[in-house]
Structure 1
């Protein structure tokens, strides 16, 4: 019991420190946050071996034609942008709404959402881990009825802070379970917008293997089920960082294969849509995520060879 009490106090202490830091950083201008990220990024690349290792491997898999020097430069730039995203959380969640809105320099493709809603159709926004997806959430929930799935953080004491930040402009957060899926369906049938993370590996049984930059990646199959039952339009949404200045929202037409009733073909379209978004600025994608982890696990089981690892 005493050990549990100490652990709980430790979590609250850590959560309080993180929340305090976000609050302080929320008062910084974006230019200053970017300068700070530019200073910290090289240190993250040098000393955070896990993040560097995964980023280096993913970039090597996705861009095999780059020279070692080019791959290293891209990996360093990627971790600089990932650092910026973490520093900007206070900006997206806690800064005055007019301040966040002023940092959104342009919106490209809003007509895709407006026309779909005018036709009585809901919109599914594929929001990959690119640029600053929390700024994208801010913009979407500021302009449209918006619902997204939400999984509480590992540091449970941060849950109310994160939830308030994501919901403050009107977003509705629903759990990552059948009840949450039902809420997404209802929102689409009301011609509203919903958000889906297209590049997060689902649990076994909730996805299929589909190519992502030419290599199979385990991809969720929720999308074709939602499309089949609602006839929703699918777009890819990102908040592209303009370093030191702000963000540009891009809403891109999804690959047509996302509308297929075949799970593998739809998942292939989802991954192709993410690839197109990454093409806007490859360094702004979160390459430190183990996107190919489950295909490696499947290969290990198939080969019964425990020493084979991609990461």
Structure 2
């Protein structure tokens, strides 16, 4: 995709509120790190109280994945998790608005050689990410450490879309952005020896995947990981980003390639992917995004785990405009 360009149309009065909110976000991002952590935890408390639908989803996910925990322990985990989600808002501001020099002082990285080795021999890499709350700031750390092409979903608000792309691309001059639906573009990048960011841990429906166990629960799992690795002749290299809040630091860990993928059996590969993802979720459960409906798609005959979403009624146009 082309680099984002500013357009005069983005200054239309209908976007002034959006620009004002971005201005506030920018100012908050300049605050000392400790202050931002405190603000983030406060936002998390508000989310826990008022984002009832997200709380219900997170509670259900934790009950499904950690049935062995007493209710009191799960409630404590839930509260820590919502605090982490609030902090993620602050971290997004840091990633988009703080300097690369400031960010470089905030993280350590381990295992970078697992990305460098295939790059040197011209082999592509499927950088397997997971939806932890550190996802946005972690992407900035990775793009400062190695050229990475990111998957991107356009935002409906053009100002937000512009700022999002600017924020994500500013730390990696040789990094590119690919639309999430641009499968051909992703394959071309892999075949050219690029590293492409890809997260297989959300529920996109069974049409794009298979059911594979996650915490012992059948979960609709995309088979893109193995297909991209096979067609793109690429290695699958996972990584995680852990917030070490007490130290004011983050640790990026790049894992050795998942050599078993692709195996030629997409079902087997999906099981391997979920086993790896589950292990990382167990290591750091409070920083995972439990607010997503990970078990939304159920096998035929099974009852849904989450309450049905309320459909918004479309506003009817006035008779005069029909």
Q: State which drifts further: 161-170 or 21-30.
A: 21-30
Extract unaligned runs of 5+ from structure 1: 1-7
Q: Secondary structure at the match of 1:268?
A: helix
List aligned pairs for 1:14-163, cutoff 5 A.
Answer: 14-104=17-107, 106-163=108-165
Structure 1 length-normalised TM? 0.87
Mapped contact 1:92–1:135 kept (Cα < 8 A):
yes
Matched, 1:291 2:286: no
Change (3 A) 1:279 1:255: farther
Q: Distance in 2 between matches of 1:257 and 1:88?
A: 34
Mapped contact 2:29–2:36 kept (Cα < 8 A):
no
- Give, in angstroms, the shift of residue 208 of structure 1: 1.5
Mapped contact 2:238–2:255 kept (Cα < 8 A):
yes
Change (3 A) 1:67 1:80: same
The structure carrying a bigger helix percent of its residues is 1
Any idea what the Cα deviations from partners look like across 1:164-212, whole Å, max 9, x if unmatched?
11111233111122xx222222222222211001112225521211111
Structure 2 length-normalised TM? 0.84
Matched, 1:275 2:305: no
Q: Distance in 1 between matches of 2:222 and 2:16?
A: 35
Change (3 A) 1:254 1:83: farther
Mapped contact 1:34–1:84 kept (Cα < 8 A):
yes
Q: Secondary structure at the match of 2:141?
A: helix
Q: 1:173 maps to which residue?
A: 177
Mapped contact 2:57–2:306 kept (Cα < 8 A):
no
Extract unaligned runs of 5+ from structure 2: 1-11, 308-322
Number of residue equivalences: 293
Change (3 A) 1:292 1:256: farther
Q: 1:186 maps to which residue?
A: 188
Change (3 A) 1:200 1:154: farther
List aligned pairs for 1:194-213, cutoff 5 A.
Answer: 194-213=196-215
Q: Distance in 2 between matches of 1:9 and 1:206?
A: 41
Change (3 A) 1:201 1:36: same
Mapped contact 1:148–1:184 kept (Cα < 8 A):
no
Supply the RMSD in Å over aligned alpha carbons.
2.1
Q: Secondary structure at the match of 1:35?
A: helix
- Give, in angstroms, the shift of residue 72 of structure 1: 0.2
- Give, in angstroms, the shift of residue 40 of structure 1: 3.0
Q: Secondary structure at the match of 1:290?
A: coil
Mapped contact 2:152–2:178 kept (Cα < 8 A):
yes
